[in-house]
Amino acid sequence: MIDPGREAAELEPKTLVEAIYKQIRQDVLSGKLKPGSKLRFTDLKANYDAGTSTLREALSRLTADRLVTAEGQRGFRVAPISLTELWDITKLRSEIESAALADAIDAGNDAWEANILACLHRLSKYEERDATTPALLGEEGALLHKLFHMSLLSACPSVWRLRVVDLLYDQSERYRRLQTSYLPDYRNSPQEHRELMEATIGRHKQRAVALLTLHLEKTAQSLATVEELWGSEARR
């Protein structure tokens, strides 16, 4: 079920390190900090108004998240992106989330259905606030988007499957936001989300799984066309 207090807690940093971590994470996910770019402490201090020790701790957390890479004594870089990783994550998500969704449809109850409807309602209302900019690029929109996707699977009885889904979701988030940033008019996500909700709570298992797979693959397929992101990989 939705817990508004928990959601607010996820958005509100509790320490300076967490605040800086969230700021840098948002800039990595949104593409403001470019994949592969050097993270120089002189620039970071100026941009985030934080000291070296705070920045180093925040970057270490981002390294654990695989959004930043450590280069020994040479500092940190934004983690690179690749078509190979994009398709690998997409394939794994499709396989594991499809199985989790099928199990959730078998096990879900009325409360599970109500939670899906509530999550979609909140996501839809958020997207309607400002139709001039991609709503899901920001931190709040991204959280509501994740809550909707996880609500679909939440009745799955496998705790480990849901943990893997959560990990893969976070790894794919940068690619999703890049797709939204580079190709904001490519797709109608609200319609896709509604169709996915209807098939899921209608217990149309085969259709729901097919829609989920297509929803995930569309991001990879469209982003793969943005050649400027991939360099020599795009010409293979």
The 8-class DSSP code of residue 39 comes to E
pLDDT category of residue 216 using cuts at 50, 70 and 90:
very high
Residues 67 and 99 both lie in one domain: no
**Dihedral sign, Cα of residue 25, residue 3, residue 200, residue 144:** negative
Amino acid at 27: D
Indicate the number of domains in the chain: 2
Convert the pLDDT of each residue in 34-55 to its tens digit: 889 999 999 999 999 999 999 9
Residues 163 and 117 both lie in one domain: yes
pLDDT tops 60 at residue 8: no
* Domain encompassing residue 53: 4-78
* Section 157-176 average pLDDT: 93
Convert the pLDDT of each residue in 92-109 to its tens digit: 999 999 999 999 999 999
pLDDT number for residue 194: 97
CATH number for position 26? 1.10.10.10
CATH number for position 171? 1.20.120.530
Integer angstrom CA distances of residue 99 from 2, 40, 91, 93: 23, 43, 13, 10
pTM over 0.85: no
Residues 71 and 106 both lie in one domain: no
